[in-house]
Structures are given as structure tokens and as C-alpha cells.
Structure 1
Amino acid sequence: MNAPLSPEVAVTDQPVPQEDAETATKPSVIPSRGIKMPMDKALLRPRIRQSLRKNSYEGYEADAIMKIAREGDTVIELGAGIGYISTLIGVHKPVKAIHAFEANPRLIDYIHRAHALNGVTNATVHNALLAPRKGPPCDFYIRQNFLASSMDPEGGPEDGVVAVEQIEVRNINTTFREIKPDVLVCDIEGAEAEILPALKYDGLRAAVIELHPQNVGAPGIRAVFDAMHAAGLAFYPRWSHRKVAVFRREW
């Protein structure tokens, strides 16, 4: 039996705005590519909610990792964001383990919620940065738009800094030796040109890397390609698209 309406609830004939109508019928999730992302208007701006519904959020990266990930793989993701890619892998691919690294502490709870909502139990979320060497915690600047947060203190007025957090810095090679990943997924807003050349690990079978030429320029792109070639991976144009570059070991 339905509970009676509270006397404080007002009944109105006013039309419900479209966005409110959507959340009234689907109050808790946004479906996307066969997974469910928690509805969180404070975190997910309208453009992101729309791209999730259209299955276009991180589209090229998602397409590539769905082709690459195999049964039994251990996947390491640098730059987990809202946990979309790690959730997608956990739901659709029978991998052994996923290690998702995200520097923004304000996103960690949401990533955990996304994993729990989709029954992903083989993912570990790390609130840490990887660097060429272990160091003291570094400043991370939280902005009004959480997804625009970064280690860069500069930002537009619409994305003003609201807090500064101290984030753990781990050594990339120590981390890779401990986790022993087969597949690398990397989307770290230009830091790939500094971090990946320091990698000394030959256990990768494949990598999906979103490049940021606007941040790193031609020398940075060349550094990433050289780093992947040094790791024994060759550029694979068939599964690459625009700024998403796929590398794989010959098989």
C-alpha cells in the first residue's frame, strides 16, 4: 500500500521541467552502454549527463578498451575521472583486476558508488598520483566544477578554486611492479608526456592513451610514442581515433 501524502506536500498543476521530469522517472541512475551511473547533479553537469545518455561519453576511449581488454587481464587506469571506464570494463569484460588511480579526492566516493551500483567487485580505487619518483604529497586544486580540478593553480573565473588538497605521490615503476598490469588506460590531461617516459616496465600487452597535444605539443606526443615503443608496444592505428592512441604488443 502506498503511504499517504504528507500534509506538507503541495499538489500543483504546473508542468514539470524536462530535467526534473527525467529525474522523477529515473531518480537515481543514468544508463550508458549497458552500465548505470549514479545521478548526481552537483557533479555531473548537463553536458556530461547528455553524453552519458547518448553513449558518447569518453566514446573513443571506451570503444578502444572494449576491443583490447581480455579475460584474466589486470588493468591499470591513470585518471579514473567519474569511474566510467573502470565500471565499463568491470561490467563487460571478465578481467582479473582493475586498479583505478584518481587524484581528485572529491571523485573517489562517486567512483565507489558507480562500482557498487553495477556490481563491480574487482576494482581498487587509489586516491594518488603516479610520478617518475615517489615524493611528498602535492597540492591539488579543487574547483567549483569538480571535473576541472587539477594540479594547476590557474583557472578561469567560472572554475575558481574552492579548496586545496594534499595528494599522495607514488613512484610509477614501483606501482607497476606491484600491480603487474597487462593493460594501461591513461587520460591525465597532459601529464602523460612527463610520467610515461619514466616507465620501465615490459609487462604491458596493450595501452589506450588519450593524448593532449594542446597541453604538451609535438615534443610531448613524441615522448609518449617513444615511451610506448620502449615498452615493446607498437602504435595500432586501426583502433586509434583522433586523440586516443592505441598501442599493442605484436600477437
Structure 2
Amino acid sequence: MRSFTLRGLTLYLPEAALKGNLERALSSGRYEHHEADALLLHLRQGDRLLDLGAGLGFICALAAGVLGEDAVVGVEAGPETVKLARKNLAANGFPGVKIVRGAVVAAAGEGEVEFGQRPAFWASALKGPEGWPENAEVIRVPARPIGRLLERFRPTVICCDIEGGELSVLVEPLPGVRLVVVETHPQIYGPEGVKRIVEGLSAQGFAAAEGAKADTLVFRRAQAP
């Protein structure tokens, strides 16, 4: 098990999970740094964060340090990654942050959905336009419709990094949400997909906000409905 320290938080993960550029990102402090910067810029007392694609639990832990652990919920599809997120949250003093296992989807209804689990956990994803991600093991995980997540946890802020799933999820109604921080994946759906996300959020009263960097976009709604 390796450990890395980012922004005062210690993240643990097994050697086998250090695939691709992950080790470099963790060592340099660049792991999820655009999302982290945007959230720290915009979070305010009274917010409730829903983190779609919780990964190692870093964003959840960072937000819990600002808002308190009861105000933060993460959703993560990979079974082993869920365990890592919970371990990291407990190790950093936030055992009360809830991590929901499952893949975020747009459609309503209960049941399961196929999910492509990759050795590089951070690149695992639902089936995209080009098929399953390379080297993915297809498993079944609980489907977590975004509408039901919103009803259950009533977030005011959404952070979203779900490897292309945002294309369908973020064009759904987001009642009560005032801020969206999303890592887009134009390599999956092209600039047309990014445009669709922007237009879908704009139609709900969101506008581009300070903190956007590279493929991470930030949207704020002046008054949540």
C-alpha cells in the first residue's frame, strides 16, 4: 500500500492501482487539482456536496473539511474503489461521509447496469459511443439515477468526473443545485458533446463561473429553484 499527501490529506492505494499517469499526478499534487481548486473557491457554509465519481475519496474529504462530513456524499461504481474511498475518508477523520456504490445514470428506475472496470480504476466507465474502454472487465453494479440521488441527498453542489457519463447525466433537471464542477471528456464525445452539456446547463439557468481550467468546467446558478 502506497500513501500520498495532497493538501494536508493522506491518500492510500495499492501499488497495483498505480497505472498510467496516476502516480505522477499524486506525487506532484496534480491529482484532481482543477476540481479541488474550483470547489475551494466556491464552497460556502450550508452547502451539500454530491460527488459523482468519488474515486479515492479525495474530493469528498476536501469538501468535508469545509462543510462537515454530514454534508458530503460520494457515488462510486467500482467495488474496490469504494473500499479505498471509505478507507481514505476514515483515515483522514471523515468516517461519516457516505459513499454510495453504483454508477450514476440518467434513466429512472431500479436495477443494475453494466460497468467497465479497468486496472486503472480512474479510467473505468460505462460503455461509451466507441464501446467498452480498453482492458475493461465488464461487471454489473447498482444503477443510481441522478434524479433519485438528488431527491435523497438534496445537494446544492455537484462535482462530476464519470468518464463520459456526464454527457447524459448533466442534461437532466438539477433542482436545488447552485453549482456544478465537471471534468468533461471531449476525447470520448468530442466538442459537440461538451457543447451539449453547456447548453443543457444553460437551459436550466447555469452560467460559466470562475475556476474553469482545461477540461474542467464550472457553472453557477444565481438562485437554485
TM-score of the superposed pair, with normalisation by structure 2: 0.87
Larger Rg: 1
Does the 8 A contact of 1:73 with 1:96 survive in 2?
no
The equivalent residue for 1:220 is 193
TM-score of the superposed pair, with normalisation by structure 1: 0.79
The equivalent residue for 2:222 is 250
Deviation by residue 1:43-78 (Cα, 9 ceiling, x = unmatched): 234842332232211111111011111222110011
- 2:142 corresponds to 1:154: no
The percentage of aligned residue pairs carrying the same residue is: 28
Does the 8 A contact of 2:45 with 2:66 survive in 1?
no
Deviation at 1:155, TM superposition (A): 4.0
Question: Matches of 1:76 and 1:45 in 2, distance apart?
Answer: 26
Question: Matches of 1:50 and 1:62 in 2, distance apart?
Answer: 17
Does the 8 A contact of 2:123 with 2:163 survive in 1?
no
The equivalent residue for 2:97 is 123
Question: Matches of 1:174 and 1:245 in 2, distance apart?
Answer: 24
- 2:13 corresponds to 1:35: no
Deviation by residue 1:164-197 (Cα, 9 ceiling, x = unmatched): 3211113221220221101010111111111211
Question: Matches of 1:177 and 1:155 in 2, distance apart?
Answer: 31
Question: Matches of 1:55 and 1:123 in 2, distance apart?
Answer: 23
Gaps (5+ residues) in structure 1? Answer: 1-26
Gaps (5+ residues) in structure 2? Answer: none
Structure 1 pair 127–187 and aligned structure 2 pair: CA distance change class (3 A): same
The equivalent residue for 2:152 is 178
Of structures 1 and 2, the one with the larger relative CO (CA 8 A, separation 6+) is 2
Equivalent AA in structure 2 for residue 181 of structure 1 = P
What do you get for the CA RMSD once the two structures are aligned?
2.2
Aligned with 1:209 (options 163, 182, 186):
182
Equivalent AA in structure 2 for residue 136 of structure 1 = G
The equivalent residue for 1:66 is 40
Does the 8 A contact of 1:72 with 1:95 survive in 2?
no
How many residues are matched? Answer: 219
Greater Cα offset, 147-156 or 124-133:
147-156
Equivalent AA in structure 2 for residue 210 of structure 1 = E
The equivalent residue for 1:86 is 60
Question: Matches of 2:213 and 2:168 in 1, distance apart?
Answer: 22
Question: Matches of 1:96 and 1:143 in 2, distance apart?
Answer: 31
Deviation at 1:95, TM superposition (A): 6.5
Deviation by residue 1:131-176 (Cα, 9 ceiling, x = unmatched): 22225311223233333332336344xxx34x43211113221220
Question: Matches of 2:47 and 2:84 in 1, distance apart?
Answer: 24
Question: Matches of 2:179 and 2:189 in 1, distance apart?
Answer: 22
Deviation at 1:93, TM superposition (A): 4.3
Greater Cα offset, 202-211 or 227-236:
227-236
